[in-house]
Amino acid sequence: QVLLVESGGGPVQAGGSLRLSCTSPGRTLRSYIMAWFRQAPGKEREFVAAITWRGDGIYYADSVKGRFTISRDSAKMPVYLQMNNLKPEDTAVYSCAAGGAMGSDYYTYFTHYDHWGQGTQVTVSS
């Protein structure tokens, strides 16, 4: 069983920044695709960003391009999500996910990820 633990969420004003971290105690999760999803109240789970285990493939949802950055150090954990210029519509529970090998066309589909963290709340006030 892969345990994923997120941290770094919290309240922030619009225009501010937060950095989320996703760790897996005792594991590097080499060969896994790592991703961040988010879910706001009353809305479906939404893809945010994904990164390959080498870090050579990075993908973002259009809604966060230019504001969010996903990263990981040399195919290790943790995986980070740097969120800048936050907007009220970014308010959601952000969850880290790990998935096995998959084509890049599937990175945005939460059903292709096998392991999930509990999530961390991000609340952006205007």
Is the pLDDT confidence value at 25 over 90? Answer: no
| Single-letter amino acid, residue 43 | K
Buried b (16+ CB within 10 A) or exposed e, 45-59: bbbbbbbbbebeeeb
More confident residue, 95 or 25: 95
Is the pLDDT confidence value at 74 over 80? Answer: no
Q: Which of 106, 64, 56, 103 is nearest to 83 (CA)?
A: 64
Which tens digits make up the pLDDT trace of 34-56?
999 999 999 999 999 999 988 88
